Structure 1
Amino acid sequence: MSTDSQKESGAPAASPGPAPTRDLSGGCGDDLERQCCREPDQKLLGTHGGVLGTHGVGDPATNFSCDSPFLSCRGRVIKWFWDSAEEGYRTYCMDKYDEDQNPSGIINLGVSENKLCFDLLQSRLTQSDMLRVEPALLQYADWRGHLFLREEVARFLSLYCKSRTALRPENVVVLNGCASLFSALATVLCEAGEAFLIPTPYYGAITQHIYLNSHVRLAYVHLDSEVTGSDARPFQLTVEKLEVALQGVISEGVTVKGLILINPQNPLGDIYSPGELQEYLEFAKRHELHVVMDEVYMLSVFDEALGYRSVLSLERLPDPQRTHVMWSTSKDFGLSGLRFGVLYTENQDVATAVASLCRYYGLSGMAQHQMAQLLRDHDWISQVYLPENHTRLKAAHTYISDELRALGIPFLSRGAGLFIWVNLRKYLPQATFEEEELLWHRFLDGKVLLSSGKAFQCKEPGWFRIVFADKAHRLRLGMQRFRQVLEGRPPFRT
């Protein structure tokens, strides 16, 4: 959790090593095979997620040992990502908390899923209009998605993104989640070795999504918690920071093709104002960069005073042919298991290229029917689901916030998303990522899964993300264990 976009283990990343400047802009992936089929050069080792250089550009293939005689070099890279990034989630899956069957199991406050509204979803998804079987749903369809679904997506986005003009179904492509969208966009927009700019901290799984199939890298725009003025906020993104990062990456010989923005932001919960969005889009236009807007949390803004605006609501897009918007039902509707995501782009070349990849990233006709029925039910969404979901999110957020205040723990208080970004630096004997990793493991030993700041490539050790979109009894137990770990008590036992 995308960030989506799919499961987030919260496992900390490896520590960075020395990073040479080298040209990564050319070639079509041969460097991957050359690097991974030899013992890794310690001088080339970078951080988890395959980042080298001052600005975070590098090759994940240099960061692991080839330990399987059965896999291709590419397969070994993929396995390495799983082994290094999924530790927390794998541990949780083997020992999930269940109130009756496994009360001593792990409470999951690390994976960004909305578990608050199953009752509402069960009621809606089991109604008779959701089940339909006909030949067209069991046969191949337009790879962009069935027209009836794309029409409903266009109407849905027009309404809930508050677009100034009606959005068009021909600009919609339907895929099985935002993870696939990131992978597809990286493949069709970039050559191997090229990069996207991305502000840190960010949803760390994006690294895998854009690298594993296309060998595209991320170039970091490092943000920090320092507040430099009365109108500033922690981890604030500015055009000046974007410019500095872009020039730094170019100076390392890397071609930058785009900018990834998450709004509302994961893990910060920040919302970009219309003015900020316009500035970022103008920056991208000046440098002929694509902008990939991840708006997967757009309906999870539970503080109405924040005034969230989708990029599709702006009066004018500076470069509509290079602006691509993604959304899914995974977060806003708590339907991550259904694997549904959409791309909206006015660039028909991009739409067609991504649609071609839907041979691998598509979803079944029956699932498309279900999604169309759900998205067309504007009365249920606006009058039943969204108000109740926002009420429950706000209550859960308030509970976790009160608990953190009682412990004297600083955190960013936002009204969007499913998570809170908390500063646990005072619990680190030394302000290092090694100490952060030890604390993350102590939480896991204490039967509570969190996500560490390093998993989001935060430049400051000690930050963690806590997901609050869960039932009250699990939140209470999770925070009890959280407190026990911080107080140095033994790991939780029944």
Structure 2
Amino acid sequence: MERAGRAGGAASTRHHPCDSSSTRRSSSSSSRSLFLSERGHRIMSYTGILQDGFSMYSANKFDEARNPEGIINLGTSENKLSVDLMATRLGQPDMYHVDPVTLCYGDWRGHAFLKKEMARFLTDYCKAPRPLDSENVVVVNGCGSLFTALSAVLCDPGDGILIPTPYYGIIDEDIRHYSGVRTVHVPLSGVPSEDETHPFQLTVPKLETALEAAKKEGMRIRAVILINPNNPLGDIYPADALLSYLEFAKRHELHVIMDEIYMLTIFIKGPKFTSVLSFDRLPDPDRTHVMWSLSKDFAASGLRVGVLYTENRDVIRALGKVAYVHGVPGPLQYSVSQILRDREWIDRVFLPTNHERLRKAHRYMTDRLRAMGVPYLERASGLYVWADFRQFLQSDTFVAEKDMWIALIKSKVLISPGQAFYCPEPGWVRLVFAESMTRLKLGMDRLESALPKLKLLTNSAQTSKGDQPNASSALPSDSLEDLIGLLRKQIHSSDWLEQNKAEHFAKSNPEVYESFQQLLKK
């Protein structure tokens, strides 16, 4: 289910989330620490929507027995549906053979036994045309560390990396904190143009435009990051489109960092995933680097194992110099190699069971969204749904989007707003469905209960727009008393009441009127 964006584009009062205090702010901007460097102070002060949301959730987690009024987390992209499968497999006796060599210093890029198994795994599941070379494999403790290390060896401080928006916003922290590298956005619109087939479509002209704009500002662009399958959209790049992006990068001598972390999390038959490692010939193999991890595809975000495959020997040598601070414990490398070697379990137990569970949860969430009248992008990959919540914003701004996000947290359900992914248009959200059915159902129940209140406030704000230019925005509350109090504030000292007698309001806003009537009955 897809819905075109609003006509007319962005409102003039919008602020891009990159520049919004709601996305990045200093927690102690007025006072400097006596103990930290400038960089240390910047790192300490850095925060954002995803971190703030997870902190609020962590302080008040839902628990069926101990905290039933706690927050349900539909905001963090983590596969809670199949952790039992991984826990059971990791508990088998063959996981716990401790070779003395794994307790000693080794190759910081990964033990040879794991790199060989990883090369075989990527050869098979990425459908490489020929066996991949284990000497081109680098193993570190997660893809976040890979982004950090790659940005350090490919870029200098102040350099830029192109990345289409929306995208997983934590990448900014990965490349900025240590390396001082900046992301340069390629904005994608929820309104497809005449020659585009779907919302938020990436095209080469958009890449060219962003690159030229950065050059005019005097910035040196060193690379482009592509996430396939995409987070948060769930898009899967067609092979011809993917090849065109690689050819664009070659023309401009840009490195391509391919994040394929969701490559096995495609749970609906139809869309075909194409890994860049499946191409018989890459346009620029020395500048093409592919990363993958067990975190998403194997429901194991706590293992912290990420892998890079690159044919560039200089990049491999440079990464080897910094990999010792990103190393994976030797005994864990052995366990991971055992997992990757067990194709019987992967192909006949884990993947089919995981995909079936994801299909069921995805179907449940999207059925509920349709029933609520919430548009979303129908996609076949990932752990989440990219949904259009613009109808619940009091204004077409990122401030209103954050207000909505806070209101939902007050209703004890955490989602991730679009500004966390640098979406250029306010009102889009990411909802994670890879949760137990009990918690998913309760989370959607809470969402369904909160949305009519948001819609009521949105319609009231639109009705009174212009009547009270100095009126302050109020957040929705769980109580009917607070909701009525807000309406009274809007009515006071204005002609709102004359324009909105009950009969007129019921005719012009039937859905809102019905919602309000239901609230009165509670």
So what's the TM-score if we normalise by structure 2?
Answer: 0.82
Q: Which residue in 2 is equivalent to 1:426?
A: 391
Report if the CA contact (8 A) 2:374-2:389 is conserved.
yes
Give CA-to-partner distance per residue, 1:395-429, whole Å, 9 cap, x none: 11100000000011111010000000001101112
- The aligned runs of 1:207-246 (5 Å cut-off) are 207-229=172-194, 232-246=197-211
Q: 1:334 to 1:321 in 2, by over 3 A?
A: same
Structure 2 vs 1, CA of residues 458 and 17 (structure 1 numbering), >3 Å: closer, same or farther?
Answer: closer
Instruction: Note if contact 1:448-1:482 (Cα within 8 Å) is conserved in structure 2.
Output: yes
CA RMSD of aligned residues (A): 2.0
1:263 aligns with 2:250: no
Residue 70 in 1 paired to residue 35 in 2? yes
Q: How does 1:88-167 map to 2 (within 5 A)?
A: 88-167=53-132
Q: Distance in 1 between matches of 2:45 and 2:60?
A: 23
* 3-state SS in 2 of match to 1:197: strand
Which secondary structure does the structure 2 equivalent of 1:266 belong to?
coil
Partner SS for 2:246: helix
Alpha-carbon shift at residue 487 of structure 1 (Å): 1.8
1:229 Cα deviation from its structure 2 partner: 3.2
1:363-378 superposed matches below 5 A: 363-378=328-343
Aligned residue number for residue 491 of structure 1: 478
User: Could you tell me which residue of structure 1 aligns to residue 354 of structure 2?
Assistant: 389
CA displacement 1:162-184 (0-9 Å, x = unmatched): 00010010000000000000000
Q: State the alpha-carbon separation in 1 of the partners of residues 31 and 422 from structure 2.
A: 25
Q: Which amino acid aligns with 1:154?
A: A
CA contact (8 A) 2:48 2:420 kept: no
**The 10-residue stretch of structure 1 (222-231 or 270-279) with the greater mean CA deviation from structure 2:** 222-231
1:491 is displaced (CA, Å) by 3.5
Q: Distance in 1 between matches of 2:127 and 2:63?
A: 41
Mean CA deviation greater in 75-84 or 63-72 = 63-72
Between the aligned partners of 1:235 and 1:17, the Cα distance in structure 2 is 16
Runs of 4+ in structure 1 deviating by more than 6 angstroms, as ranges, are 45-50
CA pair 268-487 structure 1, distance change in 2 beyond 3 A: same
Task: Report deviation, 1:46.
Answer: 6.5
Aligned 8 A contact 2:226 2:259 in 1? yes
Q: Name the SS of the counterpart of 2:429 in structure 1.
A: strand
Q: Aligned residues, how many? A: 444
In the alignment, is the contact (CA less than 8 A) between 1:223 and 1:235 conserved in 2? yes
2:188 partner letter: L
Which amino acid in structure 2 is aligned with residue 491 of structure 1?
D
Structure 1 gap segments, 5+ residues each: 1-14, 20-44, 51-59
Kindly tell me: are residues 293 and 337 of structure 1, through their superposed partners in 2, closer, same or farther at Cα, counting changes over 3 Å? same
What CA distance in whole angstroms lies between the structure 1 residues aligned with 2:297 and 2:166? 21
Alignment counterpart, residue 290 of structure 1, candidates 251, 255, 259: 255
Structure 1 CA distance for aligned equivalents of residues 303 and 381 of structure 2: 23
Aligned match of 1:182 in 147, 167, 181? 147
Alignment partner, residue 311 of structure 1:
276
1:331 is aligned to 2:296: yes
Deviations 1:332-373 (A, max 9, x none): 111111100000000011011112211110110011011100
Match of 1:199 in 2: 164
401, 407, 417: which is aligned to 1:442? 407
Distance 1:464 1:78, change over 3 A: same
How far apart, in 1, do the equivalents of 2:17 and 2:446 lie?
37
User: In 1, Cα distance between the equivalents of 2:319 and 2:23?
Assistant: 24
Per the TM alignment, residue 127 of structure 1 is displaced from its structure 2 partner at its CA by 0.5
Which structure 2 residue ranges, 5 or more long, are not aligned? 1-13, 454-475, 480-522
* Alignment pair present for 1:347 and 2:312: yes
5 Å-filtered alignment, 1:36-75, equals 64-75=29-40
CA distance in structure 1 between the partners assigned to 2:16 and 2:351 by the alignment: 46
**Partner of 2:46: helix, strand, or coil?**
helix
- Counterpart amino acid of residue 229 in structure 1: E
Of 74-83 and 468-477, more deviation after overlay is shown by 74-83
TM-score by structure 1 length?
A: 0.87
